[in-house]
Structure 1
Amino acid sequence: MGYSTEHIAGSLKAARERKGLSQRALGAKTGVPQSHISRIENGAVDLRLSSLVELARVLDLELTLVPRRKLPAVRAITRGDDAGQRDVQGARKAANMLQRLGDRIAELPRETRSEIAVQELQRRTRELMHFKLSADDLVHLQEASAAMQEFLTGSRNLEAVEQAQSRLGLLRNALAHRAGASAPSVPRPAYRLDGDDHG
């Protein structure tokens, strides 16, 4: 089997496994017998164009003829697509975690919110909402969230709040000094109403 056929067979098998389809299920959807799919994936048979088109369609793949000199660019784009999607999901998760942390602070009793450490934590949380967060920022947010959870479930020791505030301060400084980093942008609401702290 030549390299190009081997590469196509490997791509088809990987796409089938990503979709969670067995060879039998793929055969039922495409009309290509399971035994033929097995031989295609193992490189024991030459692909017929009609079979290839049908397999690609079911596996959400697109067959395209690309000029050889442009192939490296196409490969780079398709490799980066999966990583970019993971980054956007991580950024969205970080933004949601930050929002939940802000909500927890807002739900604290008024006398607790008047503590300087809690006010500082609330300020840091609001500041971070203006930054583009990345999946890498999740670690700091998880540590701050864990410290805040300790405060809420424990003896209301302000050291936990100070620890959370310190974590968020480090994150804020890192984000502010991140030079030219292009964190994936997360869709943000057109406007946001901050909680009313007056009652």
Structure 2
Amino acid sequence: MKNNPNIKSFDQHIDEQYGIKGTKSRDEFESGYEAFKLGITLQQLRHEEGLTQEQLANKCGTTKSYISRIENNASDIRLSTIIRIFKQGFGKDLRLTIN
């Protein structure tokens, strides 16, 4: 079976759409993607625990709208609040990786 030259890898597609790693457009894309993953992770944990946004907010001392902002990929979220949400809301530690 021959390879189709029109089929690209995911990495090739991202390079074409957002530029190669280290370019401004790629860095902006990857930064946004990390925020998106954080919001999805929060939402998945909340659903697994059977919590509404309001219930989670009450456990963590924040507001339902703040939880919603995180889940919907908002920017300018305070790291200390994110850490508190995962710790108080789910009993989990948040770990950051620097590459």
Please report the TM-score for the alignment, with normalisation by the length of structure 1: 0.32
Task: Using the aligned pairs only, state the percent identity.
Answer: 35
Structure whose CA Rg is larger? 1
Q: Give yes or no for the alignment of 1:31 onto 2:61.
A: yes
AA aligned to 2:80 is S
How far does residue 65 in structure 1 lie from its aligned partner after superposition? 3.0
Q: Secondary structure at 1:2's aligned position in 2? A: helix
Conserved? CA contact 2:35–2:74, under 8 Å: no
Equivalenced residue count is 68
Runs (4+) off by over 4 Å:
none
AA aligned to 2:92 is L
Counterpart mapping for 1:28-177 below 5 A: 28-57=58-87, 58-66=89-97, 68=99
Conserved? CA contact 1:27–1:33, under 8 Å: yes
| RMSD of equivalent CA atoms | 1.7
AA aligned to 1:59 is F
CA distance in 1, matches of 2:96, 2:65: 28
CA distance in 2, matches of 1:21, 1:43: 19
AA aligned to 1:26 is L
Q: Deviations over 1:43-64 (max 9, x none)?
A: 1343211110111112232212
Q: Secondary structure at 1:37's aligned position in 2? A: helix
Q: Deviations over 1:53-81 (max 9, x none)?
A: 1111122322123464xxxxxxxxxxxxx
| Residue in structure 2 matched with residue 16 of structure 1 by the alignment | 46
Tell which has more relative contact order, 1 or 2 (C-alpha 8 A, sep 6+).
2
Residue segments in structure 2 that go unaligned for 5+ positions in a row: 1-30
Conserved? CA contact 2:42–2:71, under 8 Å: yes
Please report the TM-score for the alignment, with normalisation by the length of structure 2: 0.61
Conserved? CA contact 1:23–1:38, under 8 Å: yes
Residue segments in structure 1 that go unaligned for 5+ positions in a row: 69-199
CA distance in 2, matches of 1:31, 1:67: 28
